[in-house]
Homo-oligomer: A and B are copies of this chain.
Amino acid sequence: MNQELDAQIEKKVKEVLDRELDNRLAEAFKEKGLGDRAAIIASKGTLDMAYPPLILASTAAALDMETAVFFTFYGLDIINKKKNAHLKVPPLANPAMPVPMPNIMGALPGMTAMATWMMKKWMGDQNVPSITELLEACVEGGVKLIGCQMTMDVMGVPREDLMDEIEVGGAAMFLEFASKANLTLFI
């Protein structure tokens, strides 16, 4: 091949690459779900640890990430209509409580109710939405809420006790989603 033709082909190849590569990479990244998917596991049922999955999920959705939360073990209480307005925070075994108290006191009857009342008051005073309000924000933001089938079976929780908006699924279903997520958190 003569040199001139060779140079022309090279120029042409680069032109096509410049035009094509960005699109093809964008497609490949999209297929991998990179950067635009958040997959969160909510495994705790105390009031304090119910906030993080819901705050993070609703914020991720607001940032246009495709977001799912898998509610498993004690975390199933968060999507339990009979329970989620009454989650509690225990004032013991946590020396980092804002108002720390000796464990021997924290174990006394009434103390969990008091700590729960205080946390709700602090949150409310700063206009942090309640758990049920955060759940509404998640639903409105298109967050996929998944109840863990195994936990429902083990704890004997009937479908009708859980929010209407959820799906029911297992670890495999969640992992299929999460395997294409960039952000994965176990809470």
Asked if residues A13 and B24 are in contact (CB atoms below 8 Å), the reply is no
Residues on B with C-beta less than 8 A from A21 are 17, 21, 24
**Interface residue from B43, B77, B107 paired with A103 (Cβ < 8 Å):** B107
Asked if residues A93 and B96 are in contact (CB atoms below 8 Å), the reply is no
Residues on B with C-beta less than 8 A from A95 are 45-46, 87-90, 112
Additional pairs, 17, CB under 8 Å, beyond known A90-B94, A92-B93, A181-B183: A6-B8, A9-B12, A16-B17, A21-B24, A32-B34, A35-B179, A51-B73, A55-B171, A60-B175, A88-B96, A103-B112, A104-B109, A106-B107, A180-B182, A181-B182, A182-B182, A186-B187
Binding site for B on A (CB under 8 A): 1, 5-6, 8-10, 12-14, 16-17, 20-21, 24-25, 28-29, 32-36, 38-39, 41, 43-46, 48-49, 51-52, 55-56, 59-60, 62-63, 65, 72-74, 77, 87-90, 92-98, 102-104, 106-109, 111-112, 122-123, 125-126, 128, 150, 153-155, 171-172, 175-176, 178-187
